[in-house]
Structure 1
Amino acid sequence: MSSQTARTGRAVRITAPGELEVVEVDVAAPAPGNVLVEVAWCGICGSDREVFGGTRPAEFVRYPVVPGHEWSGTVVEVGDGVPAELVGRGTVGQGIRTSSTAPASVAGDTAAWPQEYEETGFTLPGGWAQYLELPARYLHLLPEGADLRSAAGIEPAACVAEAVLLADLTVGSRVAVIGAGALGLLATQLLKGAGAEVTVVHHNTSREELARRCGAAHYVLSDEAEGAGLLGTFDAVVEAAGVPGIARLATRLGRPGGRVVLTGIPANDADDLSSLELVSRQVHVMTVFGAPTRAWAYAVRAFALGILDPSVIVTHEFPLEQAGAALEELGRRSGALKVLLRP
């Protein structure tokens, strides 16, 4: 039951594309069924830059908005109907809202998601703030003493965890991960943990050492993949690059009957996927947008077991008041991989 504690806190608000402000806001007690989380860390991803730049499709953002969907924190207050023992627990939480009549989507069935899109940090207040309120049913509790800085990376890991689940691996499966950005490296950790032999395919050599640290057995440049005799050799391919043309490379790397999972959304969707190639080689193509409950559970379990360690991809940290500078740093593409804000 809520203690009705009066609070204020700072938050970063994007009022319109290109317009950002740090504001002091009143923090209400959580509504029935909800919790109030004190945010410890919140990551910045490419979609947050789209919100700031005004390039995110209109149906996936609503201004003004407090961004931030990659957060971790501690429950500090609960609303009516929520167990009081949640107070003090470290947690992360799902962002995409599901139908109130189908809260779990445990089997990964996104049909339970409503047609009208709602998500923390895009259409609803997010984690670029000291406090965040959300329904308790979206929480994923962390082990006692968990590293909340590292846990801020569980949300992107959950997205690629769904790709790992769709890839339907067995121990020893040969898997290619295209892209050595944050998503690709987190996918590499999860795939290694699942017993796969992972080859990371990237456009330059700058991430090779980190990719191998994350569990890659091999590292190949994307423009050399064909000459290296890799086309048609992988049991599964996880695409995490999101650049034009990369989906075709992903499908060509998969063996006949193999599985290809696409997670990236190119800014210019002018890919040249060949129906002839897909049908004649019986490549199974699947996609991931967000993460259902089963993927969150998978990522949290991997984190608790030490298989998943998002802290290794953190390159920069900024206080909440420097959110604008943090966005600029990520946009420079000069080595920033995962940028965190600390309220």
Structure 2
Amino acid sequence: MRALVLNGVKQMELSDITPGTLAPDEVRVTTAYAGICGTDKGLYAGLPGSADAVPPIVLGHENSGVVAEVGSNVTDFKVGDRVTVDPNIYDGICEYCRTGRPELCDHLSAIGVTRNGGFEENFTAPAAVVYHVPNNVSLRAAAVTEPISCAVHGMKFLKITPYQKALVIGDGFMGELFVQLLQAYGVQQVDLAGVVQEKLDFNQQHYGVTTKYNTAQGDEIPADYDVVIEAVGLPQTQEAAIEATKKGAQVLMFGVGKPDQKFSMNTYEVFKKQLTIQGSFINPNAFEDSLALLSSGKLDVEPLISHELALSEVQSYLNGNISGVSKAIAKVSGAE
């Protein structure tokens, strides 16, 4: 079958490979779409993701498709079912799994990171991490269930009430998801800070952003927010997130920085304002909520998918040769 194989740092090749063996508790999925995210860019460049990707490996951890085969022990899926797949697989026996924090699992494995993923015509996954896609959700939209679930996991750390005023820093795909999520969770006012005026205007016109700040043009963000979500991962935006808070505020540090990256903050302000600063890693137990949000219409993601690529174009995108991308997905097969 056709697969885009990562053979080394910044080395990808479209190859014919032998499909993996299907275990009794697994499902084989014909990939319809595979999302491409910042983690894939990092893995392509040799950086760690949720776990280390050891070449040769097929990336693609954001996937949707159609069930092509089921293992002998699988009863909840049948051939032809439309599905999406949570890539993260936990051991279930380490300290973190046994204390309700599986995302911190000592032996985390992941489809598209430690085992072959969606940048191939079909892949296998444990049935336990496969989810039915609602009839009113397209496979194109379902391909981004995984990034939605990461954002939903982050939302679970926040104490959200309607009176709050929230700020999202970052006008990329994840920031745009958080704009919609905060409103879906009942926050009365959601503002957005970014650097691309067209995106800021679009989110105000289509997704209900109240106030927008173009920091590239020098717009200043007031220290007036109950909730701040940092969705960039740069030191300057992480510092800006802390500085935008009012007393008693919560800051979700969602953006992924480089492994050796640091930022500075005024620790007295953290004390004086009684701030809560929270990290968020991957997406445990969040797919059901994510699919419900898509099915209900409270999340509208297809307008945020700016590029649909062929597998043969993915490496060019990872090399930075395709500009103006908000969110890219690869169309792997015609399965719908």
TM-score by length of 2: 0.89
- Distance in 2 between the 1:334 and 1:143 partners? 33
**Is the 1:99–1:112 Cα contact (8 Å) retained in structure 2?**
no
Residue 142 of structure 2, aligned match among 151, 156, 180: 151
Q: Distance in 1 between matches of 2:50 and 2:307?
A: 29
- Asked if the contact 2:213–2:220 (Cα under 8 Å) also holds between the matched residues in 1, the reply is no
1:310 aligns with 301
Residue in 2 that maps onto 1:3: none
Query: Which residue matches 2:60?
Result: 68
Residues 1:265 and 1:58: Cα distance change in structure 2 (over 3 Å):
closer
Please point out which of 327, 334, 338 is paired with 2:323.
334
Instruction: Please name the residue that 1:169 is paired with.
Output: 160
CA distance in structure 2 between the partners assigned to 1:225 and 1:253 by the alignment: 15
Could you tell me which of 131, 134, 158 is aligned with 1:140?
A: 131
The yes-or-no answer on 1:216 pairing with 2:216 is: no
Q: 1:301 pairs with 292, 313, 333, which one?
A: 292
Note the residue ranges of structure 2 that are not aligned, 5 or more in a row.
Answer: none
Is the alpha carbon distance of 1:333 and 1:236 closer, same or farther for their aligned partners in structure 2, counting shifts above 3 Å? farther
Pick from 90, 109, 118: which aligns with 2:82? 90
Relative distance call for 1:185 and 1:112 in structure 2 (3 A) is closer
Residue deviations 1:103-148 (CA, integer Å, cap 9, x gap): xx7x993246431332221111111111110111112221125300
2:12 matched to which residue of 1? 20
**Cross-structure match for 1:256:** 247
- Aligned residue pairs total 328
Flag structure 1 segments of 5+ consecutive residues without an equivalent: 1-8
Provide the C-alpha distance between the structure 2 equivalents of 1:74 and 1:326, rounded to a whole number of angstroms.
26
Shift of 1:82: 0.8
Pair 335,259 (structure 1): closer, same or farther in 2 beyond 3 Å: same
Distance 1:338 1:324 in 2: 15
Residues 51 and 114, structure 2, Cα contact 8 Å, conserved in 1: no
Q: Which residue is 2:199 aligned to?
A: 207
Could you say what secondary structure the match of 2:109 adopts?
Answer: coil
- Contact 2:4 2:311 (8 Å CA) reproduced: yes
In structure 2, the residue matched to 1:79 is 71
- Rounded Cα–Cα distance in structure 2 between residues aligned with 1:57 and 1:93: 18
Q: Which amino acid aligns with 2:33?
A: W
- After superposition, give the CA deviation of every residue in 1:191-212 in whole Å (9 maximum; x if it has no partner): 1222221100113423112222
| Alpha-carbon separation, structure 2, partners of 1:249 and 1:124 | 37
Paired with 1:340 and 1:57, the residues of 2 have a C-alpha distance of 19
2:263 aligned partner, one-letter code: D
Moved more, 37-46 or 157-166: 157-166
More deviation, 250-259/58-67? 58-67
> SS of 1:87's equivalent?
coil
Greater mean alpha carbon deviation, residues 261-270 or residues 150-159: 261-270
Match of 1:5 in 2: none
Q: Which residue of 2 aligns with 1:36?
A: 28
Q: C-alpha deviations, 1:253-312, integer Å up to 9, x for none?
A: 12211111111122361311232221221100111111111x222211101111112211
The DSSP-based 3-state class of the residue aligned with 1:86 is coil
| Match of residue 128, structure 1, among 119, 133, 157 | 119
Deviation at 1:251, TM superposition (A): 1.7
Question: Among the aligned pairs, what percent are the same residue?
Answer: 25
| Counterpart residue identity of residue 205, structure 1 | Q
- RMSD after superposition: 2.5
CA shift for structure 1 position 215: 3.1
Letter in 2 for 1:120: I
3-state SS of 2:197 partner: coil
Find the residue that maps to 1:159 and give its secondary structure.
helix
| Deviation for aligned residue 1:313 | 1.1
- C-alpha contact (below 8 Å) 2:103/2:283 kept by paired residues: no
Residue of structure 1 equivalent to 2:182: 191
User: Does residue 1:245 correspond to 2:244, yes or no?
Assistant: no
Mapped to 1, the partners of 2:63 and 2:56 lie a distance apart of: 19
- Give the alignment partner of residue 310 of structure 2, picking from 300, 319, 322: 319
CA contact (8 A) 1:151 1:310 kept: no
